[in-house]
Amino acid sequence: MKPVYSNAAIVFGSGGGIGKAIKQELLSGSVYKNVICYSKSNDIQLDITDENAILKAAYELKKKNIKISLLINAVGYLHDKTFMPEKKISEISNEYLLNCFKLNSIGHALIIKYFTPLFNQETKSFLVCLSARVGSITDNYLGGWFGYRASKAALNQIVKSASIEINRNIPNLILASIHPGTVYTKLSKPFIKESKCFSTNESAKKILKTIFNLEKADSGKLLDYHGKVIPF
Ligand SMILES: NC(=O)c1ccc[n+]([C@@H]2O[C@H](COP(=O)([O-])OP(=O)(O)OC[C@H]3O[C@@H](n4cnc5c(N)ncnc54)[C@H](OP(=O)(O)O)[C@@H]3O)[C@@H](O)[C@H]2O)c1
């Protein structure tokens, strides 16, 4: 009989600012026997726009009989060499919107699809997608950033819908979208001053504390790094 590694933590986006800090925090603790990290360019390489690659990654864990207790998806996209977030309607572009949805919504949905069957069903476990306060429609007072805002709002809806089904099938699994705060990383650098935001280590610690305080009633919600609910 194969051993069951019932206490695995998974991080997607472990090469990014917040993802790397979460990975280090998990590796320095003793809660998880097994910390498995995926990144586009570091650790186990995985492009989350590739559904087949996600399926294969999940299958590899299944073959090893790994059971997940924590999954944090820290993948996200706001800008690249070609695109910056839109300041006005005239800047809306098909390609940028597609990039936002592929990385901020669809990739997360596919990971929920292929990885939720691998969760430990016996004990309380967590699947968290890093979202953003600007994905809240209620909280939108400034406008702009169409692709990022809309793709994070879609992510929040995907997590909410999945949480309803998961509540029936894997009642011990809590799903949540978490806003990590304003954190100085490659993603945020062009828009913020380092002195006015959290370091990646501070954010990782706050995110993990929030996750470990989650209760079943929180499943499907969008929460900030203190565990305070952000209205959709
Ligand atoms: N920083 C903030 O102030 C802030 C605020 C609100 C929300 N957030 C959210 O927090 C999360 C983490 O952001 P961050 O600030 O840490 O950004 P970051 O440093 O830019 O990290 C983004 C991560 O996404 C990964 N990624 C990009 N394209 C990918 C692909 N095709 N397949 C797999 N991975 C891919 C990157 O992988 P590589 O490193 O391998 O390229 C990187 O690990 C994101 O969801 C972001 O929207 C951040």
pLDDT above 60 for 193 = yes
- Average pLDDT for 86-92: 98
pLDDT above 80 for 88 = yes
- Do the beta carbons of residue 155 and residue 102 sit within 8 Å? no
CA distance 210 to 128: 10
Entry pTM: 0.97
What domains, with CATH codes, occur in the chain?
5-223 (3.40.50.720)
- Do the beta carbons of residue 159 and residue 173 sit within 8 Å? no
pLDDT band at 31 (very low <50, low <70, confident <90, very high): confident
CA distance 114 to 141: 36
Q: State pLDDT tens for residues 160-185.
A: 999 999 999 999 999 999 999 999 99
In three-state secondary structure terms, 32 is coil
| The residue count for the chain | 232
186 lines ligand 1 (CB under 6 A): yes
48 lines ligand 1 (CB under 6 A): yes
Q: What is the mean pLDDT of the chain?
A: 95
- Which numbered atom of ligand 1 lies nearest the CA of 39? 40
pLDDT band at 33 (very low <50, low <70, confident <90, very high): confident
pLDDT of residue 186: 96
pLDDT above 60 for 5 = no
13 lines ligand 1 (CB under 6 A): yes
pLDDT band at 95 (very low <50, low <70, confident <90, very high): very high
- Average pLDDT for 148-158: 98
- Which numbered atom of ligand 1 lies nearest the CA of 148? 47
- Look at the block and give the residue holding tokens 């995985």: 46
pLDDT of residue 228: 98
Structure tokens belonging to residue 127 = 């699947």
| CA 179 – ligand 1 centroid, Å | 12
- Which numbered atom of ligand 1 lies nearest the CA of 48? 32
pLDDT band at 6 (very low <50, low <70, confident <90, very high): low
85 lines ligand 1 (CB under 6 A): no
